[in-house]
Amino acid sequence: MRIFVLGNASRPGVPEEAERLLPFLSERCQVVVFDLRGATELPAATADLALVLGGDGAILRAARQMGYRQTPVLGVNLGKLGFLADLTPEQLRQAWPRVLQGEYRVTQHLMFECVVETPERKDTYLGLNDVTVHAGPPFHMIELELLVDGQVVATVSGDGLIIATPVGSTAHSLSAGGPIVGQELPAFAITPISPHSLTMRPVVDSADKVYTIVPRRLSVGSALVIDGQDALPLTPAHRVTVRRAPVSFGLVKVPGHNYYQTLRDKLRWGTGPNYRTEQSHGG
């Protein structure tokens, strides 16, 4: 098996764990790329899977680093939540013989292209989680026009707007009151941030549609943020379009790990309150 070993060297513990894992991995497979700083142009290399060390941010960066030539990712959580990276280093060592035998499945997930246009230029960004337009200092209410397939469908007044993939639905969108969307669904979640209207609610719609955000009124520090990693100043001259990317993100799932288990373990979804039992003391 040929693998990439990727990660976030700036996260405490990642370089040390990578050095501990490297001899273990090198004895059992071919490490094609070892890169913890995002410096390697991955589309020029090929592998069977990418082992990503760190947290969900490291996986987002790896997905963007692989660009339009995606390799299935197996995440090792060395952070806090680790919603996508759900294996510990010890669990990885235990599961690795089965991985080498092909005893895993790869789930495919929606990626997006975010096209940012002004009269002078046009840039396209590949992403996995979400596109967010939000107000900045001095945090006055902003106004955004949302178009779906070229038709105006809403004017959003508030702190901003999030367009999230199913993978991104459990990130910023969820914190803003958006829905949890099944990770393998071909859909986008559209979530307003603190809307100035009780009737403005999140919507889930098809990934086959094209979503465009046109700023109508912005505060001075308003910004466009892509996957929480690219932050671009936003002006009324901008036009932001989100559409399905021509590639998908592959996530390696080993036996014993599934989506609903991750929801329960990481977000406590569907679990009852943890009441503390008071013990009576006789006297």
Q: What distance in Å separates the CA atoms of residue 178 and residue 162, rounded to the nearest whole number?
A: 9
Contact 220, 134 (CB under 8 A): no
Cα→Cα distances 237→204, 216, 233, 234, Å = 27, 9, 11, 8
DSSP 87: B
Rounded Cα–Cα distance for residues 257 and 76 (Å): 13
For 153-193, the pLDDT digits (tens) are 999 999 999 999 999 999 999 999 999 999 999 999 999 99
CA distance 70 to 59: 12
Phi, psi of 53 (to 5 degrees): -105, 135
In angstroms, the CA 250 to CA 108 distance is 5
CA-CA distance, 29 to 49, in Å (whole number)?
A: 11
Convert the pLDDT of each residue in 182-226 to its tens digit. Answer: 999 999 999 999 999 888 999 999 999 999 999 999 998 999 999
Could you give the residue range(s) of every CATH 2.60.200.30 domain in the chain? 111-246
pLDDT at 9 over 60: yes
Closest alpha carbon to 109 in 76, 87, 148, 83: 83
Alpha carbon 168 to chain centroid, angstroms: 5
Mean pLDDT in residue range 66-91: 87
pLDDT for residue 260: 80
Q: Give the pTM.
A: 0.90
The pLDDT tens digits of the residues spanning 111-134 come to 999 999 999 999 999 999 999 999
Query: What rounded mean pLDDT belongs to the chain?
Result: 91
**Please, what is the angle between helix 89-100 and helix 14-26, to 10°?**
30
Q: Please identify which of the residues 35, 48, 56, 205 carries the catalytic annotation.
A: 56
Q: Domain 111-246 sits in which CATH superfamily?
A: Probable inorganic polyphosphate/atp-NAD kinase; domain 2 (2.60.200.30)
Band of residue 84 on the pLDDT scale cut at 50, 70, 90: confident
Percent of the chain with pLDDT over 90: 74
Residue 278: pLDDT band (50, 70, 90) is low
Active site residue 56: yes
Domain with CATH 3.40.50.10330 in the chain: 2-104+254-267
- CA end-to-end distance (rounded Å), the chain: 67
Of the ranges 44-48, 75-79, 161-165, 255-259, which one carries the lowest mean pLDDT score?
255-259
CATH number of 2-104+254-267: 3.40.50.10330
* Mean pLDDT, residues 224-237 taken together: 94
Bridge partner list, 151? 148
What number of H helices and E strands is found in the chain?
A: 5, 16
- Binning the chain into helix, strand and coil, the percentages to the nearest 5 are 20, 40, 40
